[in-house]
Structure 1
Amino acid sequence: MRRRTTLAGAAAIAAVLLGACGEPNDETGASQQPQGAALRVTLGTQEFPEARVLGELWRQALAVNGYAVDLRKGVGPAEELDQELQDGTIDGYVAYTGTVLSVVAGQEVSGLDPEATYAAAEEFYAGQDMVMSEMTPFQNKDAVATTTTFADDNDLTEIGDLAGVEGLRFGGRPEFEDLTLGLAGLSDVYGLTDVDFLPLDLGTQYAALDSGEAQAVDAFTTDPQLDGGDYRILDDPELLFGSQNVVMVVGADDLERVDATAFMDVVNAVNATLDEQTMVRLNAEVLEGTSDETVAREFLRSRGLDRPLRS
């Protein structure tokens, strides 16, 4: 039996949904609750900026809808977050569907589109007494990037087109060279065999493209450098890198205690606004020095999600 965090009961839920007045929470414009009736949940994220922003978006949106959310940032990688959810240390976390499937469930992800990946992850978690929210439109997954100029000069639109570039200088984090979801897979699936691999520290790949040191690099589809940068992400028609949409994973018992429909309505309303262009921009704002709390607050305000969904 999994240990669960004690949450408020049905009376508290009714009070919140009726908009009862009382002690406010710490979000500006948040709905109010009677003392002792807070619907408290604990959410966890990984350390990287995008995960922290997503956690803040959910925390702040839930707060204005009557939930008291403890957000634990930088808990650890997916397997640690999953274990903490099983242990009851957290009630939910920021998850990527492909990572759930490959790292947590130990299943194959290559070749699966977003819907198939979501369905497989949902089935896995159903057996773990966990529930997933609806997935975001955006994905954050491995990709191959070039400069726009290099792509235009070599008629590149998809990864396989790189097979025609002799002595391709390809940059990526050191471990990428031998990964199936890396250069080894690119060789097998797309015929990239004439490659000079350049090990690069994560985050320096775009500078390597700019300088001409690398002609193509391992990137991620929501890298902040893509915001206004002169870069092109090449299509992955064979879905070598699988699919990586974002969901909230939450314990089924915890979800019922805080009114499953009301809770997930808020999370899903946030998720629906997050397309790829939006996440690239939000990540860029964090990279430029704006706190993830502020980035989330301003975005929610721009989408009208800084107000309760229901009175």
Structure 2
Amino acid sequence: MRRLLLAVAALALLAGGCGDAGDDTGGSSQPQGASLRVTLGTQEFPEARILGELWRQALATNGYAVDLRKGVGPAEDLDQALQDGTIDGYVAYTGTVLSVVAGQDVTGLDPEETYAQAKEFYAGQDMVMSDMTPFQNKDAIATTTAYAEEHDLTEIGDLAGLDSFTLGARPEFEDLQLGLTGLQETYGLDNAEFAPVELGEQYTALDDGTAQAVDAFTTDPQLEGGGYRLLEDPELLFGSQNVVMVVGKDDLKRVDATAFLRVVDTVNSELTEEAMVRMNAEVTEGRSDEVVAREFLRSVGLDRPIRGD
């Protein structure tokens, strides 16, 4: 009887140590110590929420208790929250780190150059970046596939050969260097007529003929069907926007930097543009980001603990 009581007590202590992993998604079933508890933040849009879920679930599988705070705010708010200690890490885009947080120019920088400069900037802030994802989510110019084939369009500069065309984009895009102004200077698109189009309505504008080209993003869910084409940006006007996790240096030490980054980097290595477009499409169609992330991790074998070297 004494042995039975001791066993029951031990089980009660074990159950009491289980952590709650997030505001809105539930926690890991594994017992967690305070040293392995982390708080991550994301922006509000679907892709950022998916990325947060991918990291949360993979980290939970590997023994971490993760408090995931979705929709904290834009890049500036997330950076400030990390500096204030409100969060321990967040979903970041390398080009946004440079342009918005660091105030540096991103035009002409390839992914490796952008990553290196963002990493250097954050090192001066006592912050660390994970490896970057293969995919990028950045501004791009899109047309319908039919229009691109009809006019032999593969690069943005090919649009300069048209007599004229209408470019649809959010209103502020017209006067941005990373917008119509930059497109005119870099690619000679003086033949473009600008049409203000609310964010989210770009593809409707292409479909109904309001615009022949629009400002899009490289992981838009509408790209999954093949009806639209992204024109190449060989001059890298829009820079590079790979995803990284940014973590406070002291926080990283606390959670075992090698083990923690092994999990994050392994997840990141699986995130191709095709995979993100598909997951974005699923969430846009109404599936929860939690379920979409779980199914993706299972499909690439990351629903099991990752073994160290």
Answer yes or no: same fold by TM over 0.5: yes
Query: How much has 1:29 moved relative to structure 2?
Result: 11
Select which of 206, 216, 227 maps to 1:219.
216
Unaligned runs of 5+ in 1: 1-20
Distance in structure 2 (CA, Å) of the matches to 1:86 and 1:275 = 30
1:137 maps to 134
1:278 maps to 275
Query: How much has 1:53 moved relative to structure 2?
Result: 0.3
Find out whether 1:195 has 2:201 as its counterpart: no
Distance in structure 1 (CA, Å) of the matches to 2:89 and 2:34 = 20
Query: How much has 1:208 moved relative to structure 2?
Result: 0.8
2:260 maps to 263
Given the two structures, how large is their TM-score scaled by the length of structure 2?
Answer: 0.91
Count of residues in correspondence between the two structures: 290
Report the 3-state secondary structure (helix = DSSP H, G, I; strand = E; otherwise coil) of the residue aligned with 2:62: coil
1:41-82 deviation line (CA, Å, top 9, x unaligned)? 000000100000000000000001110000011111101100
CA RMSD in angstroms, aligned pairs only: 1.7
1:50 maps to 47
Pairing of 1:95-134 with structure 2 (within 5 A): 95-134=92-131
Distance in structure 2 (CA, Å) of the matches to 1:301 and 1:30 = 16
2:203 maps to 206
Find out whether 1:33 has 2:31 as its counterpart: yes
Distance in structure 1 (CA, Å) of the matches to 2:28 and 2:301 = 13
Kept in 2, the 8 Å contact 1:30–1:308? The answer is no
Query: How much has 1:30 moved relative to structure 2?
Result: 5.5
1:113-166 deviation line (CA, Å, top 9, x unaligned)? 000000000000000000000000000000000011110111100000000112
1:214-233 deviation line (CA, Å, top 9, x unaligned)? 10000000000001140000
Select which of 178, 181, 188 maps to 1:181.
178
Report the 3-state secondary structure (helix = DSSP H, G, I; strand = E; otherwise coil) of the residue aligned with 2:229: strand
Given the two structures, how large is their TM-score scaled by the length of structure 1?
Answer: 0.90
Select which of 69, 73, 95 maps to 1:72.
69
Distance in structure 1 (CA, Å) of the matches to 2:126 and 2:29 = 30
Kept in 2, the 8 Å contact 1:159–1:190? The answer is yes
Unaligned runs of 5+ in 2: 1-12
Report the 3-state secondary structure (helix = DSSP H, G, I; strand = E; otherwise coil) of the residue aligned with 2:122: helix
Select which of 227, 242, 249 maps to 2:239.
242
Q: Identity of paired residues, percent?
A: 75
1:210-252 deviation line (CA, Å, top 9, x unaligned)? 1111100000000000011400000000000000000000000
Distance in structure 2 (CA, Å) of the matches to 1:262 and 1:33 = 17
Q: Deviating runs (4+, > 4 A) in structure 1?
A: 24-31
1:63-113 deviation line (CA, Å, top 9, x unaligned)? 011100000111111011001100100000000000000000000100000
The AA in structure 2 aligned to 1:32 is Q
Give 1 or 2: higher helix fraction.
Answer: 2
Query: How much has 1:38 moved relative to structure 2?
Result: 6.2
